[in-house]
A and B are shown apart, each in its own frame.
Chain A
Amino acid sequence: MKIKRIGVAAIALAAAGALTLTGCTSGSPSSSGAAGDMSAIITTNGSEPQNPLIPTNTNEVGGGKILDAIFAGLVYYDAKGAVHNDVAESIESDDAQNYTIKIKPDLKFTNGDPVNAESFVKAWNYGAALDNAQLSSYFFGDIEGFSLDENRPELSGLKVVDDLTFTVALVQPESDFPLSLGYSAFYPLPESAWADLEAFGENPIGNGPYMLDGEGAWKHNEEISLVTNPDYDGPRKAQNGGLDIIFYASQDASYADLQGGNVDVVDQIPEAALSSYADEFPDRSVNQAAAIFQSFTIPARLPHFSGEEGQLRRAAISMAINREEITDVIFEGTRTPAHDFTSPVIDGYSEDVPGSEVLDFDPEKAKELWAQADAIAPWSGTFQIAYNADGGHQGWVDAVSNQLKNNLGIDASGNPYPTFAEARTEITNRTIQTAFRSGWQADYPALFNFLGPLYGTGAGSNDGDYSNPEVDALLKEGRAETDIDAANEKFQQVQEILFKDLPAVPLWYSNVNGAWNDTVDNVEFGWNSVPLYYQITKAAE
């Protein structure tokens, strides 16, 4: 998981005048093939990591961007989100539950330590043990022997077979387990890390395309300097000399530096420049849907929102929202209206899942459904959507509320919490008494990752306490399939049910908005909205 306070940029609805759609420029790299300067350093934006640079203890974008550059996992994801082997020679399973993982021979960390089965097994054991309090520990929750109740220094499901082979036993079949192995929590650690992990977190040693430019390359709150790792010969071999990630406190500062030519590539655009950046950087910008799903959750415990009445009201609310208009007017076309519960960048995505009509704007039908619900039990009160006021959500929440008011004839309003922490605390403690903003950024590119953790009964991020035995059964069946297409078929059936129950009302996908200077070529953004830095080329100056 890469957390970003999903900072939805919004302008006041009052200012909504022109309904122009920002031109979406293609993000495909120029095919000029001009060989870049192999010593040129690419500069880009980032943010100060919130935690030490230890793979199992990093769960936010600032640190994740660095870890992905300096480590190589068993697999990696290409721009389309497809999975390919990186360190792994093969990942095999007959039953989707017991996996045999073979590692490519003769790989080394940048300090000379070998990359072997031990480097993975030890790192995962450390990450999973309760006493180590690692932020990503629950990623190992499905491996046999994982416990949240007692500290277990070793997972019984991990076995080293020989130097380059280890096996993983899961508690249940999981067809998407190999897909998740490119996530940073599953990176290996060198033997030398264990002597002093704290020091390691400050000067991490990896096996990826880049490495830290010596001790102290991480200048806190300023930047981190990475140089190409000459020993890395995998599929992500760097086409440049290194990477300087500058930590910015505001998007405005990074954009000013892009304009001023002090930075080559940025993957965020400030609100004020959303309508102009595509013109200012012609053919050098992207605005495309990312693996970030935005919605608002209506908890099942709210009165009027369960049973048949609940289904009718949820469908009515969904159909009373004009997603196109809000994404155009408030977000300047930098959001893409949702057609499902996942994201278009995920393998297996379809915008025509049966039942998805409920996401189309249809005020008459909405009114009709609402009236039918009123016949079951009359509505009273105000429909509220809670949000954190520090994330720029007010614009769209007010817009949605207004549309509900106008199209359903009910009272609707936003319910702001001053800070993200405050809103999340109320949601986690289930003390929140209204609908609330929800969002999901995928940890790894798989349909299941958008569905299982959010809508499975008792699942970790099922904050609305949704429960449907049919959904649970289909999720389980899908995970037991060894063929990914057969699995995705089951997951789409899950979505059909979700469209009826609407535990959360899908709104839109966040777009990745980025731009780059003419100093660099071959800029392409990955499935997780981060540029694929290793393939960027820069002409010699």
Chain B
Amino acid sequence: MAGYILRRLLQAIPVLLGTTFLIYFMVFAMPGDPVVALFGDKTPPPQVLEAVRERYNLDKPFIVQYLLFLGGIFRGDFGVSFSGEPVSDILARTFPVTLQLAAIATVFLAVGGILVGLISGLRKGGIFDASALVVSLILISLPIFVVAFTAQYIFGVQLGWFRTTVGSGAPIQDLILPAMVLATGSFAQIVRLTRASVIETDGQDFVRTAASKGLSRRRIVPVHILRNSLIPVVTYIAVDFGVLMVGATVTEGIFNVPGVGRTLYQAIIRGEGPTVVSFVTVMVLIYLIVNLLVDLLYAVLDPRIRYVK
């Protein structure tokens, strides 16, 4: 097990190097000069442009810029944004916010989705199942910004149950509405996935065996059916958590959440190479770790799966 984890972590190193290089190159190759754009519709003298470029190392060739950046990372220095703020501070400020948002959303979709999916699967063809199917179909087809604007208008402006946008410091009560919005799309997926999986497991021999040896339904459902149905669902939730972690640009924009998605979007628009690459580096790390955890979780859920060196 330890050997397996170590090997996976070592594999992460080339992945990280490769992704940072690619992303840095893409930001560098983005057409248009970010320094020119800093001046808006006005054209400053070329000497001023040159001086500003020099300050951000933007006058150096690509490979030098990249190596300077990489060298900085090894010293824990992620560079500074155009506003003079160290990128490490920006990371430390935005990731906790998005982590909270993603965690709340995941709780909503995991608890709600699995519960609804389980009941649907056990009562296949019933009223509950049919209406859950219809509702999930509607939720899947709605674009997230429609859900977000509607929720914001109804619950924020009209009913006043929630603050319309997230206030300073991103308190948890403000994050509940955007988290619910974020959860809607995946919620429907989880419901359908759980339902299909439960139906399949319910027809398995070991469930029939359990029933025939006299176990109550109350014990069969959670221990035999649910546990064995969860493997695909857990994979989906984990991957989804990874997706939520790397930021939800649209939702964060609508609810003004000071998280990863909004900040990264701004940095891309402004052409701030160091900020963009630092964010992506951390995102890749998160993704790798989440994937590793998922693989390890399989073994817990299904004792037949074993990791050997």
Q: Which residues of A contact B (CB under 8 A)?
A: 1, 3-6, 48-52, 59-60, 130-133, 135, 137-138, 141, 148-149, 198, 201-202, 219-223, 246, 248-250, 252-254, 256-257, 259-260, 262, 390, 417-425, 427-428, 438-441, 453, 460-463
Across the interface, which residues of B come within 8 angstroms of A1, CB to CB? 39-40, 42
Across the interface, which residues of A come within 8 angstroms of B55, CB to CB? 133
Some 6 contacts from A to B, beta carbons below 8 A apart, are A198-B84, A260-B156, A419-B31, A425-B32, A428-B36, A461-B41
Asked whether, in the complex, the Cβ of B48 is within 8 Å of the Cβ of A133, the reply is: yes
Q: Given A440-B41, A461-B42, list of 20 further CB < 8 A pairs?
A: A4-B40, A49-B83, A133-B55, A135-B52, A138-B48, A202-B84, A222-B258, A249-B256, A249-B262, A250-B254, A254-B256, A256-B157, A257-B164, A259-B153, A259-B164, A260-B165, A425-B33, A425-B37, A460-B43, A460-B44
Across the interface, which residues of A come within 8 angstroms of B34, CB to CB? 421
Asked whether, in the complex, the Cβ of A248 is within 8 Å of the Cβ of B256, the reply is: yes
Pick the contact of B40: A59, A219, A220, A223 (CB < 8 A). A59
* A135-B52, A425-B31 known; A439-B160 Cβ under 8 A: no
CB distance from A466 to the nearest CB of B (A): 13
Most A-side CB within 10 Å, residue of B36, B83, B165, B263: B83
Closest 6 CB pairs of A and B: A3-B40, A421-B32, A260-B164, A422-B32, A133-B51, A421-B37
Across the interface, which residues of A come within 8 angstroms of B45, CB to CB? 138, 141, 148, 460
Across the interface, which residues of B come within 8 angstroms of A59, CB to CB? 38-40
CB distance from A162 to the nearest CB of B (A): 33
Within 8 A of A (CB), among B258-276: 258, 262-263, 265-266, 269-271
Across the interface, which residues of B come within 8 angstroms of A418, CB to CB? 31
Across the interface, which residues of A come within 8 angstroms of B164, CB to CB? 253, 256-257, 259-260, 262
Asked whether, in the complex, the Cβ of A3 is within 8 Å of the Cβ of B41, the reply is: yes
Q: What is the bound-complex CA distance between A246 and B33, given in angstroms?
A: 29
Instruction: Return the chain A residue nearest B44 by Cβ.
Output: A138
Across the interface, which residues of A come within 8 angstroms of B265, CB to CB? 249
* A130-B47, A250-B254, A460-B45 known; A421-B271 Cβ under 8 A: yes
Pick the contact of B47: A48, A148, A221, A424 (CB < 8 A). A148
Q: What is the bound-complex CA distance between A63 and B127, given in angstroms?
A: 57
Q: What is the bound-complex CA distance between A219 and B258, given in angstroms?
A: 10
B163 on the A face (CB < 8 A): yes
Q: What is the bound-complex CA distance between A72 and B34, given in angstroms?
A: 31
Mask, B79-92, CB within 8 Å of A = 1, is 00011110001100
Q: What is the bound-complex CA distance between A423 and B33, given in angstroms?
A: 9
Q: What is the bound-complex CA distance between A377 and B262, given in angstroms?
A: 53
Most B-side CB within 10 Å, residue of A49, A248, A256: A256
Asked whether, in the complex, the Cβ of A460 is within 8 Å of the Cβ of B31, the reply is: no
Across the interface, which residues of A come within 8 angstroms of B94, CB to CB? 221
Most B-side CB within 10 Å, residue of A50, A59, A131, A421: A421
Q: What is the bound-complex CA distance between A50 and B265, given in angstroms?
A: 14
Mask, B234-251, CB within 8 Å of A = 1, is 000000000000000000
Across the interface, which residues of A come within 8 angstroms of B270, CB to CB? 50
Q: What is the bound-complex CA distance between A421 and B271, given in angstroms?
A: 9
* A133-B51, A222-B258, A441-B41 known; A421-B36 Cβ under 8 A: yes
Pick the contact of A262: B44, B167, B266 (CB < 8 A). B167
Asked whether, in the complex, the Cβ of B42 is within 8 Å of the Cβ of A222, the reply is: no
Asked whether, in the complex, the Cβ of B160 is within 8 Å of the Cβ of A260, the reply is: yes
Asked whether, in the complex, the Cβ of B252 is within 8 Å of the Cβ of A249, the reply is: yes
B152 on the A face (CB < 8 A): yes
B253 on the A face (CB < 8 A): yes
Q: What is the bound-complex CA distance between A256 and B165, given in angstroms?
A: 8
Across the interface, which residues of B come within 8 angstroms of A438, CB to CB? 41
Asked whether, in the complex, the Cβ of B254 is within 8 Å of the Cβ of A253, the reply is: yes
Instruction: Return the chain A residue nearest B170 by Cβ.
Output: A222
Across the interface, which residues of B come within 8 angstroms of A198, CB to CB? 84
Asked whether, in the complex, the Cβ of B84 is within 8 Å of the Cβ of A52, the reply is: yes
Asked whether, in the complex, the Cβ of B83 is within 8 Å of the Cβ of A461, the reply is: no
CB distance from B95 to the nearest CB of A (A): 13
Asked whether, in the complex, the Cβ of B258 is within 8 Å of the Cβ of A419, the reply is: no
Across the interface, which residues of A come within 8 angstroms of B28, CB to CB? none
Instruction: Return the chain B residue nearest A460 by Cβ.
Output: B43
B168 on the A face (CB < 8 A): yes
Q: What is the bound-complex CA distance between A248 and B168, given in angstroms?
A: 11
Most B-side CB within 10 Å, residue of A198, A252, A462, A463: A252
Pick the contact of A252: B89, B160, B163, B254 (CB < 8 A). B254
Across the interface, which residues of B come within 8 angstroms of A441, CB to CB? 40-41
Q: What is the bound-complex CA distance between A352 and B153, given in angstroms?
A: 46
B149 on the A face (CB < 8 A): yes
Asked whether, in the complex, the Cβ of A256 is within 8 Å of the Cβ of B83, the reply is: no
Q: What is the bound-complex CA distance between A149 and B153, given in angstroms?
A: 56
Pick the contact of A425: B36, B54, B153, B269 (CB < 8 A). B36
Q: What is the bound-complex CA distance between A398 and B279, given in angstroms?
A: 37
CB distance from B81 to the nearest CB of A (A): 9
Asked whether, in the complex, the Cβ of A428 is within 8 Å of the Cβ of B43, the reply is: yes
Asked whether, in the complex, the Cβ of B165 is within 8 Å of the Cβ of A424, the reply is: no
Most A-side CB within 10 Å, residue of B40, B47, B167, B258: B40
Asked whether, in the complex, the Cβ of B90 is within 8 Å of the Cβ of A3, the reply is: no
B169 on the A face (CB < 8 A): yes
Q: What is the bound-complex CA distance between A52 and B258, given in angstroms?
A: 19
Across the interface, which residues of B come within 8 angstroms of A422, CB to CB? 31-32
Q: What is the bound-complex CA distance between A428 and B48, given in angstroms?
A: 13
Instruction: Return the chain B residue nearest A131 by Cβ.
Output: B51
Asked whether, in the complex, the Cβ of B271 is within 8 Å of the Cβ of A256, the reply is: no
Instruction: Return the chain A residue nearest B263 by Cβ.
Output: A221
B255 on the A face (CB < 8 A): yes
Q: What is the bound-complex CA distance between A390 and B271, given in angstroms?
A: 14
Across the interface, which residues of A come within 8 angstroms of B263, CB to CB? 221
Across the interface, which residues of B come within 8 angstroms of A250, CB to CB? 253-254, 256
Instruction: Return the chain B residue nearest A463 by Cβ.
Output: B43
Q: What is the bound-complex CA distance between A299 and B262, given in angstroms?
A: 37
